[in-house]
C-alpha cells in the first residue's frame, strides 16, 4: 500500500510537510514499513487539489483525504494496517457533475430575462469583435443603411420603451422632438452619472458591455440627425471609463463611429466627459451645464433640452440602460420588445438588488414581475431568519415599500401609487433590524449634502429636515416634530426647481406614512424598537434574559464587557463606544 502526501509549495504552507513527517514516523514506530510506503509528491507532480490541503492519496484504493492533520497520523496508519476505511469523514467526495444546476434552473438566474444584460459576463468587453459576434452593431447598420430617421423613431414608438433613468418618459417622444428641432448642430448625450446609493446597474452595463451603449447612441444620432455625442460618466467609475474609451477607439477603428460610418456618409463623433461625482449632475440640465464647463446646477424648464440643451443646441439625453436597449429593438423590432411587460411599461427592467437579502446582484425581469418574486425568489429572501421590513426603491428620490405592497408589479405607475418611484433601479432590502428613522436620516443626510444650493427650500429645508430627524434619533424629539416634517416637506416639494429638490423629502414622507408608529416610539416613548439609535439605548444587560453565552463579550471591539461562564455579562457604560456590536450579537435580546 502506498500513501502519497501532496507536498508542493501551497500544501507546505498549510502544514503538509509536518503531516508527511508525522506519517513517516508513525509507520516506523508501528513497524509497518514493509506494508505501507509513505512518499511525498512535490511541486512538479502536484495534482492541484489546493483547497483540500494538507491532503494525500492512498493507493491502490485511489481515495483522496483532505484536511489531514498531524494528530490524524496514528489513527490513519492503524486503520490502513487493519485494512479498515480510515478517516471516513475526510474522504474527498465531490458532488456529481449532474448535481450542478443548469443556470436557468437556479433560483437566481431562472426567473430572469436577459435582454439588456444579454452579453453580461459572456463577452470580453474590451473586444469589439466579440460584441459583433453577438449580433453587435447590426442595429446600427440597419438604422444607418436601411432605415429613414422616421422609421427608427416609429420602431422605438412601437416598442413603447420608456426612459430607464427613473422618470419613465417615453423615449420616442423625446427623439421625435429632437428630430424635429431645427439646428445644424444637435447632440446625443448619455447620462452615466449613476449616483443613487445602492444603484450599480449602469456601471455593470458600461463595464461588461460598453458597445451596446455606443450602438444605442449611434442609432439615436441617426434618428435625430446628430453628429456629436457625449457620454457623461462619473469619474468614480474608472473601469467603466476605461472600457468605454477602449470601445470608442475600437469602433472608430472599424469605421462604426466617426466619419462616414459604414460607408454611408453619416458622421457621428463620440466623447466621454468625466463628471466629478455630484449627485445633482444626474439631473439633465445640470449635467449639460457640467459638460459646458459651468457649475452643475439645474435650470428651469422650458425650454426643454430637445429645443435648447447642451450649448443651447437641441439635445437628446437618455440614460445608459435606455441606450443599451435600443440595438435589439432595431434588430428584433419594436413589436417584439413590447411583447413583454404591462400595459404601460414594456420590456424588461434591470435592478440592483442589495441590502438584507441572500442573493445580491443585478436582476433583469420583465416589467410586471412582482417585488415579492424579485426579493424572495430571485433574491432568496432575508438571511439569518429575520423578517422582511421594507424595500427602498429609487434611491434618495424614492420611497420605502412595506410588506403589504410586495405583490405590486414592477411598473412605473403601480410603483408611484405605492408612494415610491421606479427610479433608476436601486433596490435596497431592509430587514426588521432596520430603524426607519435612521434610514430617513441617512437619506436626508445624503440629500442635504448633495443639494446644489440654488433653491433655498432645498438647500435650507433639507438641512432643517435633517436637524429634526437628528433630534428624534437622539431622543429630543417633540410630538409637533412629525407635523413639522410633513409641512416642511410639502414646502420643499412645491417650491424646488428640479426633480432632486422636489423629491428630496420622499424618503422621509414614505417612511412616515408606512412606519409612523416607529417615529412615535422614538418621540413619545423615547425608544428605538429596532435598537439602532444609540442615544435611545441603555447599554445594560438584563440578567433575566441573559443566557450567559458570552457572545457580546467576545465580539466587543472596545473590550468593555465583563463576563464569566455561567454569569450574566455586564457593560462598562463609561468606556462603551456605543458601536451596537453587542446588540447585533446577542441572540436573546438581553441588552436593553
Compute the least distance from the CB of residue 341 to other proteins, in Å.
9
Compute the least distance from the CB of residue 156 to other proteins, in Å.
19
Of 107 and 520, nearer to other proteins (C-beta) is 107
For position 265 contacting other proteins by CB under 8 A, the verdict is: no
Contact pick of 59, 85, 103, 592 for other proteins (by CB under 8 A): 103
Contact pick of 79, 91, 108, 568 for other proteins (by CB under 8 A): 108
For position 250 contacting other proteins by CB under 8 A, the verdict is: yes
For position 129 contacting other proteins by CB under 8 A, the verdict is: yes
For position 101 contacting other proteins by CB under 8 A, the verdict is: yes
Cα dihedral angle (28, 31, 32, 38), rounded to 10 degrees?
A: 0
Compute the least distance from the CB of residue 99 to other proteins, in Å.
7
377 CA to centre of own chain:
17
Three-state SS letters, 191-207? EECCCCCCCCHHHHHHH
Of 112 and 448, nearer to other proteins (C-beta) is 112
Dist CA 71 CA 75 (whole Å):
8
Q: Which stretch binds other proteins (CB under 8 A): 95-103, 165-173, 422-430, 583-591?
A: 95-103
Return all residues near 216 (Cβ < 8 A) that are at least 6 apart.
318, 322, 323, 324, 325, 326, 327
Element (H, E) at 482: helix 480-495
User: Binders of other proteins among 298-357, rule CB under 8 A?
Assistant: 336, 339-340, 354
Of 149 and 361, nearer to other proteins (C-beta) is 361
For position 256 contacting other proteins by CB under 8 A, the verdict is: yes
Compute the least distance from the CB of residue 177 to other proteins, in Å.
30
Contact pick of 114, 442, 539, 588 for other proteins (by CB under 8 A): 114
Compute the least distance from the CB of residue 274 to other proteins, in Å.
16
Contact pick of 49, 442, 539, 588 for other proteins (by CB under 8 A): 49
Instruction: Give 300-322 as a DSSP string.
Output: -SSSPTTTS-GGGS-EEEEEHHH
For position 7 contacting other proteins by CB under 8 A, the verdict is: no
Compute the least distance from the CB of residue 158 to other proteins, in Å.
15
The answer to whether the beta carbons of residues 399 and 392 sit under 8 Å apart is yes
The answer to whether the beta carbons of residues 23 and 6 sit under 8 Å apart is no
**DSSP reduced 3-state for 373:** helix
Mark residues 457-476: x for contact with other proteins by CB under 8 A, - for none.
--------------------
Instruction: Give 137-154 as a DSSP string.
Output: THHHHIIIII--HHHHHH
Contact pick of 360, 549, 560, 576 for other proteins (by CB under 8 A): 360
Dist CA 394 CA 447 (whole Å):
13
For position 113 contacting other proteins by CB under 8 A, the verdict is: yes
Mark residues 9-48: x for contact with other proteins by CB under 8 A, - for none.
-x-----------------------------------xxx
**DSSP reduced 3-state for 457:** helix
Instruction: Give 152-178 as a DSSP string.
Output: HHHHHHHHT-B-TTTT--BHHHHHHHH
Of 123 and 590, nearer to other proteins (C-beta) is 123
**DSSP reduced 3-state for 429:** strand
Dist CA 167 CA 398 (whole Å):
11
Compute the least distance from the CB of residue 493 to other proteins, in Å.
34
Number of residues that bind other proteins (CB under 8 A): 75
Amino acid at each position: 500500500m502506498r500513501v502519497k502526501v501532496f507536498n508542493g509549495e501551497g500544501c507546505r504552507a498549510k502544514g503538509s510537510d509536518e503531516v508527511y513527517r508525522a506519517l513517516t514516523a508513525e509507520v516506523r514506530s508501528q513497524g509497518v514499513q514493509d506494508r505501507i510506503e509513505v512518499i511525498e509528491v512535490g511541486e512538479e507532480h502536484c495534482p492541484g487539489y489546493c483547497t483540500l490541503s494538507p491532503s494525500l492519496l492512498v493507493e491502490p484504493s485511489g481515495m483522496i483525504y483532505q484536511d489531514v492533520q498531524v494528530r490524524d497520523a496514528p489513527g490513519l496508519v492503524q486503520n490502513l494496517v487493519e485494512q479498515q476505511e480510515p478517516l471516513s469523514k475526510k474522504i474527498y467526495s465531490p458532488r456529481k457533475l449532474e448535481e450542478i444546476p443548469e443556470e436557468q434552473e437556479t433560483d437566481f438566474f431562472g426567473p430572469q430575462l436577459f435582454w439588456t444584460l444579454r452579453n453580461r459576463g459572456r463577452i470580453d468587453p474590451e473586444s469589439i469583435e466579440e460584441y459583433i459576434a453577438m449580433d453587435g452593431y447590426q442595429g446600427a447598420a440597419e438604422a444607418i443603411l436601411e432605415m429613414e430617421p422616421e422609421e427608427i423613431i416609429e420602431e422605438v414608438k412601437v416598442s413603447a420603451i420608456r426612459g430607464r433613468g427613473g422618470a419613465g418618459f417615453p423615449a420616442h417622444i423625446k427623439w421625435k422632438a429632437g428630430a424635429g428641432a431645427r439646428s445644424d448642430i444637435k447632440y446625443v448625450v448619455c447620462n452615466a452619472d449613476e449616483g443613487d446609493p445602492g444603484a450599480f446597474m449602469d456601471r455593470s452595463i458600461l463595464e461588461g458591455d460598453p458597445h451596446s451603449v455606443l450602438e444605442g447612441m449611434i442609432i439615436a444620432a441617426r434618428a435625430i440627425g446628430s453628429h456629436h455625442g457625449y457620454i457623461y460618466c462619473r469619474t468614480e467609475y474608472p473601469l467603466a471609463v476605461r472600457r468605454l474609451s477602449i470601445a470608442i477607439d475600437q469602433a472608430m477603428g472599424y469605421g462604426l463611429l466617426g466619419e462616414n460610418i459604414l460607408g454611408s456618409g453619416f458622421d457621428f463623433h463620440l466623447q466621454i466627459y468625466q463628471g466629478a461625482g455630484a449627485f445633482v449632475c444626474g439631473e439633465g440640465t445640470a449635467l449639460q451645464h457640467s459638460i459646458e464647463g459651468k457649475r452643475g446646477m439645474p435650470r428651469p424648464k422650458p425650454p426643454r433640452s430637445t429645443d435648447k440643451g447642451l450649448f443651447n443646441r437641441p439635445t437628446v439625453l437618455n440614460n445608459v440602460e435606455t441606450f443599451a436597449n435600443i440595438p435589439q429593438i432595431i434588430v428584433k423590432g419594436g413589436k417584439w420588445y413590447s411583447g413583454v411587460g404591462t400595459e404601460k411599461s414594456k420590456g424588461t427592467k434591470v435592478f440592483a438588488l442589495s441590502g438584507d437579502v441572500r442573493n445580491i446582484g443585478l436582476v433583469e425581469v420583465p416589467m410586471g414581475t412582482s417585488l415579492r418574486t424579485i426579493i424572495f425568489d430571485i433574491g432568496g429572501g432575508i438571511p439569518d431568519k429575520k423578517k422582511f421590513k421594507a424595500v427602498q426603491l429609487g434611491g434618495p428620490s424614492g420611497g420605502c415599500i412595506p410588506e403589504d405592497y410586495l405583490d405590486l408589479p414592477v411598473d412605473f405607475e403601480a410603483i408611484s401609487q405605492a408612494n415610491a418611484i421606479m427610479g433608476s433601479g436601486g433596490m435596497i432590502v431592509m430587514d426588521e433590524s432596520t430603524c426607519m428613522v435612521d434610514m430617513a436620516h441617512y437619506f436626508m443626510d445624503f440629500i442635504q449634502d448633495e443639494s446644489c444650493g440654488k433653491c433655498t427650500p432645498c438647500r435650507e429645508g433639507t438641512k432643517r429636515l435633517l436637524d429634526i430627524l437628528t433630534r428624534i434619533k437622539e431622543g429630543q424629539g417633540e410630538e409637533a416634530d412629525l407635523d413639522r416634517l410633513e409641512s416642511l416637506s410639502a414646502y420643499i416639494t412645491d417650491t424646488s426647481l428640479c426633480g432632486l429638490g422636489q423629491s428630496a423629502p420622499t424618503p422621509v414622507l414614505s417612511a412616515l406614512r408606512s412606519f409612523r408608529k416607529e417615529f412615535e416610539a422614538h418621540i413619545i416613548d423615547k425608544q428605538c424598537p429596532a435598537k439602532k439609535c444609540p442615544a435611545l439605548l441603555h447599554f445594560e444587560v438584563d440578567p433575566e434574559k441573559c443566557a450567559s453565552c458570552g457572545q457580546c463579550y467576545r465580539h466587543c471591539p472596545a473590550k468593555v464587557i465583563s463576563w464569566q461562564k455561567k454569569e450574566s455579562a455586564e457593560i462598562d457604560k463609561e468606556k462603551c463606544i456605543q458601536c451596537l456590536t453587542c446588540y447585533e450579537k446577542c441572540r436573546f435580546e438581553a441588552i436593553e
